[in-house]
């Protein structure tokens, strides 16, 4: 089965089982997202992908497309909400972009530029999240975690290792690794794992390659994320 829905006023075709985000993407419309990844089932936690359907907000990464639905995405209202969600993610962690190895390759930073997030707006939480540098190949800087669980999912479903999990709840939720010591070095993690290469922000970082590619020549330096993300897909 298939059908058509309206995305910001333009007709978008879909096949049965496709979500709004998937169908929109296939038709060339970018919807902001952080926890969604084309190779994994939807997660639905970051809420950057919210759109409005018939006056109600839904997560476009998880909501199946339906015939005739009218989807609003690129509106001042929705983009304003997305910006506020980004501002929330920025104050919740410790993000010092100018000194971050991931700068220019980071989806959070790129979305902040894209959605014109010019100020931090809310009070910073300044959480205490110690770095784990125990592993010979990889550094974990928890200060930037946005809890997309991509590393959790990749390690569990693709690498078959279950290196990562979340514990705590609410604002105290945090990432842990699969070792009684709590140290990455004491797990079977390797830099070749998919989980080592999937973090959209700067938490899981390979050692000794941080600035091999200079800032200015990175993924989102020349073109905004809504352009880069759509090129990658093709």
| Interface contacts to ligand SF4, rule CB under 6 A | 145-151, 175, 198-199, 201, 203-204
Tokens at 217, concatenated: 């020549």
At its nearest, how many Å lie between ligand FES and the CB of residue 51? 10
At its nearest, how many Å lie between ligand SF4 and the CB of residue 15? 29
Tokens at 83, concatenated: 């910006």
CA–CA separation, 2 and 147 (whole Å): 34
Tokens at 142, concatenated: 């928890």
CA–CA separation, 189 and 26 (whole Å): 34
What is the side-by-side order of every strand in the sheet holding 56-59?
10-15, 2-7, 70-72, 50-53, 56-59
Tokens at 34, concatenated: 């952080």
Residue 44 binds another protein (CB under 8 A)? yes
Nearer to ligand FES, 71 or 139 (CB): 71
* Residue 19: DSSP 8-state: B
* Beta strand residue intervals within 116-222, DSSP E: 138-140, 164-167, 174-177, 204-206
Question: Are residues 73 and 82 in contact, defined by beta-carbon separation less than 8 angstroms?
Answer: no
Residue 158 binds another protein (CB under 8 A)? no
Span near ligand FES by CB under 6 A; candidates 46-54, 185-193, 196-204, 216-224 = 46-54
One of 91, 97, 191, 194 touching another protein (CB under 8 A): 91
Q: Which does 162 bind (CB under 5 to 8 A by kind): another protein, ligand FES, ligand SF4, none?
A: another protein
Nearer to ligand FES, 33 or 153 (CB): 33
Nearer to ligand SF4, 86 or 198 (CB): 198
One of 6, 26, 27, 62 touching another protein (CB under 8 A): 62
CA–CA separation, 16 and 200 (whole Å): 29
At its nearest, how many Å lie between another protein and the CB of residue 98? 23
Residue 126 binds another protein (CB under 8 A)? no
One of 53, 61, 110, 201 touching ligand FES (CB under 6 A): 61
């Amino acid at each position: 089965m298939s059908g058509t829905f309206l995305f910001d006023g333009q007709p978008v075709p879909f096949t049965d089982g496709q979500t709004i985000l998937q169908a929109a993407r296939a038709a060339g419309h970018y919807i902001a997202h952080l926890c969604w990844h084309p190779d994994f089932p939807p997660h639905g936690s970051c809420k950057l992908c919210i759109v409005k359907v018939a006056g109600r907000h839904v997560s476009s990464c998880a909501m199946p497309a339906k015939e005739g639905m009218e989807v609003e995405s690129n509106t001042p209202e929705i983009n304003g909400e997305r910006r506020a969600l980004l501002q929330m993610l920025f104050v919740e962690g410790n993000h010092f972009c100018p000194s971050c190895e991931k700068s220019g390759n980071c989806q959070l930073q790129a979305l902040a530029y894209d959605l014109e997030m010019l100020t931090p707006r809310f009070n910073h939480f300044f959480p205490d999240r110690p770095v784990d540098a125990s592993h010979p190949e990889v550094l974990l800087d928890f200060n930037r975690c946005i809890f997309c669980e991509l590393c959790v999912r990749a390690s569990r479903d693709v690498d078959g290792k279950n290196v990562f999990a979340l514990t705590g709840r609410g604002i105290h939720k945090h990432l842990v690794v699969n070792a009684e010591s709590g140290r990455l070095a004491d797990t079977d993690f390797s830099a070749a794992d998919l989980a080592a290469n999937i973090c959209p922000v700067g938490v899981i970082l390979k050692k000794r390659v941080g600035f091999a590619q200079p800032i200015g020549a990175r993924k989102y330096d020349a073109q905004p994320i809504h352009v880069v993300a759509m090129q990658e897909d093709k």
